[in-house]
Amino acid sequence: MPRLGDPAPHFTAVTTQGEITFPEDYAGRWVILFSHPSDFTPVCTSEFMTFAVMHPEFAEYNTDLVGLSVDGLYSHIAWLRTIEEKITFRGHSGVQVKFPLIDDHTMSIAMQYGMIMPGEHASSAVRAVFIIDPTGTIRTIIYYPLSTGRNFPELLRVIKALQTADTFDVATPADWVPGEPVIVPLPGSCGTAKERMQDSTDETSGIECQDWFFCTKPISESEIEETLRVTLTAASLTSA
């Protein structure tokens, strides 16, 4: 079962968008690889429609979506066509799912990624989410039970938080969203801790310390958006 910091396990698969080799085909881009229990089920339908509607928002952050279930390719195609032609969810209808959905009827990829949990269901994947960075490293793993649909704004927030942490060398506190103060990394020595407390009294530094270990600084939402846009565009051009 993969862990945070591990390379994303390699596989080649048939999908609704053609064959993919993972994660090599996505080098230089972030990826959300996610599993769902079964085609033609209501919770999964609501999730796929939501992912499809938010697909452009994820793309703005250099992030691709890749879905997986243990159903076959023709089941996937029929289900996605039904979604587009018949289903309305939260005011959205005629929704096209343009990201790939993997045919994993042998369950080999689901087993490789630890998506099958017998205590929940022996032959269907749970609602797993793997966020993988441009180097092919697993950065986030989230599991939901079969009965509970995912929180999609949270998935987008995690993408933004990870990219902000990488770009600005900071951490993000509880419930953080772009525009709120970020956490300054812990000092590596007593001297650095002392300097940090001194800096916190300097209004020009922007650093606010409640104690040596709890310091924050502001980064505006516009600065984050602009910096990430430049960084992600450069990364995308390099990978291309």
Reported as a pLDDT band with limits 50, 70 and 90, residue 185 is: confident
> What's the CA gap between 177 and 119, in Å, rounded?
35
Confidence at residue 121, expressed as pLDDT on a 0 to 100 scale: 75
Binned at pLDDT 50, 70 and 90, residue 234 comes out as low
User: 175, 156, 176: which is closest to 51 by C-alpha?
Assistant: 156
Judge if 120 and 25 occupy the same domain: yes
Q: How much is the pLDDT for 118?
A: 82
pTM for the whole structure = 0.89
Tell me, what CATH number does 75's domain have? 3.40.30.10
Domain containing 225 equals: 163-239
CB-based burial of residue 31 (10 Å sphere; 0-12 exposed, 13-18 middle, 19+ buried)?
Answer: buried
Q: Are residue 97 and residue 207 in the same domain, yes or no? A: no
| Gap between the Cα atoms of 67 and 64, Å rounded | 10
pLDDT in tens, 125-144: 889 999 999 999 999 999 99
Q: 51-55, 119-123, 206-210: which has the minimum mean pLDDT?
A: 119-123
pLDDT at residue number 192: 67
Total of domains in the chain: 2
| pLDDT given at position 212 | 80
Residue 213 vs residue 153, higher pLDDT:
153
pLDDT (tens digit per residue) in 47-102: 999 999 999 999 999 999 999 999 999 999 999 999 999 999 999 999 999 999 99
Higher pLDDT, residue 190 or 69: 69
Phi, psi of 14, rounded to the nearest 5 degrees: -85, 135
Look over the chain and give the mean of its residue pLDDT values, rounded to a whole number.
90
pLDDT of residue 190: 58
3-state DSSP call for residue 67?
strand
- Confidence band, pLDDT 50/70/90 cuts, at residue 197: low
Q: Tell me, yes or no, whether 47 and 73 share the same domain.
A: yes
Alpha-carbon gap, residue 91 to 95, rounded angstroms = 11
At 173, which CATH number?
A: 3.30.1020.10
Q: Name the pLDDT band for 203 (thresholds 50, 70, 90).
A: low
Q: Contact at 8 Å (CB) between 9 and 112?
A: yes
pLDDT for res 229: 76
Q: Is the same domain home to 52 and 133?
A: yes
Please indicate whether residue 225 or residue 230 has the higher confidence score (pLDDT): 225
From the candidates 44, 190, 209, 215, give the one annotated as an active-site residue.
Answer: 44
Question: Residues forming the annotated binding site for substrate?
Answer: 127
**Does 44 participate in catalysis according to the annotation?**
yes
Could you tell me where the DSSP H helices lie in the chain? 42-59, 73-86, 108-112, 152-168, 190-199, 221-239
Confidence grade of residue 213 (pLDDT, cut at 50, 70, 90)? confident
- Asked if 134 and 215 sit in the same domain, the reply is no
- Which of 141, 162, 183 represents a domain boundary (last residue)? 162
Please check whether residue 5 lies inside any domain of the structure.
Answer: no
